Chain A
Amino acid sequence: MSFVLESNADGTTIVHIGKALDFRNAADFKKLCQDQVRNGVRNFILDFSETGILDSTGLGSIFSLYRQVSPLNGQVVFASVSRPVQVVVQLTRTYKVFRQFPSVDAAHKSLA
């Protein structure tokens, strides 16, 4: 239940979400992102290529991140959105604030 982080010199952090982001590890995700924001990171790319589970607690932790960085002109974007994640995003209509990209590279290019 850990997340793999990649920080880039341009102030963008890529978080590979892994198999699940749910009530079991949402607090870890939140803390991890808070530390990044404290270190000056403003843009986040969330890689969902392997993600099978995103529950409401997990989604809530992403929303918290969005509320932290958006006043600082930061962005949270989604890459390689898997089918289960897409269902949640559609249901909550949050595709309006989280831009989606087919790959981490594509997301990175757009933020650069």
Chain B
Amino acid sequence: MAEHSILVVEDEHTLRRLLEYRLGKLYNVRTAANGEEALVRIKEEVPDLIVSDIMMPRMDGFALQEALQDELDTRIIPFIFLTAKADEQSRLKGLRTGVDDYITKPFDIEQLLTRIARLLERTRLFQTQLDAKIGQDFSQKLMPKTMPEVDGYRIHFHNSPLEHGGGDLFDWTEAKPGIFFFTIGDVMGKGVRAKFYAFSFLAYVRSLLHGLLSESVSPAELMHRINELLMRDDVLVDTFASLLILRWEPATHSITYVNAGHCRPALVHTRGAQLVAHSDMILGLDARTEFIDTTLTLEPDMALMAYTDGLMEQLMPDGKMLGESGILEVAHQAHHQNDPIDALLTHTLALSQSTEFEDDILIFWLERLA
């Protein structure tokens, strides 16, 4: 499996071919005959590691190494010097300028392979740790620490992000006294990248919401603006997101929602649970997408349960996903429990005969008390 790419810079034809052949068994190898050529190759595609000779015509190894220091992208490429110059002076000069390793000719190819593997592994570990740290940081920032408190209602919220999970997001604000907005969404993709886009996206949504409130409190209008933005913003191009916006007015017990391709919420009451059916197309795909507001009334003892796809896609023993029908079942079972979300998760895991969830889990439960 040639996953890592290595650039070999060596002026001597035979050695260059030998290295290309031997390293090529394990890595994706490109070659250059001197520093100048190497810079061209690097511009085409940044390699994961560079193995370079020192003494070369046109541009030598030191000059190449120095040129790479100019940009952050290239400064971090692990660099191994390969040279006949066994003198201490060169070695010290190399180490001072940020060379990671140093091998003198004639060298043992196995030794070179070991050093390459070690350097790549170290880089990978560093990257993984950094990703995990950033991912965790984003996850925390994407979730609120408190929930609204309103007489006659109870609200539960649960979020358990995974390190390799996706871009789930949740936010709420009391836009005007007695008018609450909740946004629940999922930015497509996995890992830190998705979380980063979710984070930027949420910032856009927040500022739009605040900016719009003086003119309109229609979730559909808000959704329309967000879609327009995704369609023309250069940073967010190629960002697709499902999003559910709820406007909740406890005084009239009404919820007005707009759903852009997000998992459909459940409306839970004593007799059972049903889907909050209407939804429009996902965000970021088509500027002409129309979004429609729908209003529903929460009767006493009724709850609205919203979630992200991690819950719905939890696999059951038969290999199928929990799905919407499964969601309705577990939501109904959770009704009237002290901690409905805890009950719902326990029940889902029991159904799936598993001890943990395979994806990020996000659940929001808004219940009008009896």
Which residues of A are in contact with B by a Cβ distance under 8 Å? Answer: 23, 55-57, 59-60, 63-64, 66-67, 87, 91-94, 96-97
Contact = CB atoms under 8 A, between A and B. Distances in A.
B280 interface: yes
A93 B280 contact: yes
Given A56-B166, A60-B189, A63-B285, A93 B240 contact: no
Contacts of B186: 56
Contacts of A94: 261, 281-282, 285
Given A64-B238, A93-B261, A57 B190 contact: yes
**Secondary structure type dominating chain A contacts:** helix
Nearest to B191: A23
Contact of B189 (A57, A66, A67): A57
Contacts, number: 52
26 contacts: A23-B190, A57-B166, A57-B189, A59-B240, A60-B188, A60-B189, A60-B238, A63-B188, A63-B240, A63-B285, A64-B238, A66-B285, A67-B238, A67-B285, A91-B261, A91-B264, A92-B281, A92-B282, A93-B280, A93-B281, A96-B281, A96-B286, A96-B289, A97-B281, A97-B285, A97-B286
Contacts of B240: 59-60, 63
A64 B237 CA distance: 9
Contacts of B190: 23, 57
B163 to A, nearest CB: 14
Q: Which of A56, A64, A92, A97 has the most CB of B within 10 A?
A: A56
Interface of B: 166, 186, 188-190, 237-238, 240, 242, 261, 263-264, 279-282, 284-286, 289, 309, 313, 321, 323
Contact of A87 (B237, B280, B323): B323
Q: Which 3 A-B pairs have the closest CB atoms?
A: A60-B188, A92-B261, A93-B281
A2 to B, nearest CB: 13
B188 A59 contact: yes
A60 B284 CA distance: 10
B284 A63 contact: yes
A67 to B, nearest CB: 7
B188 A57 contact: yes
A91 to B, nearest CB: 7
A104 B10 CA distance: 50
A60 B239 CA distance: 8
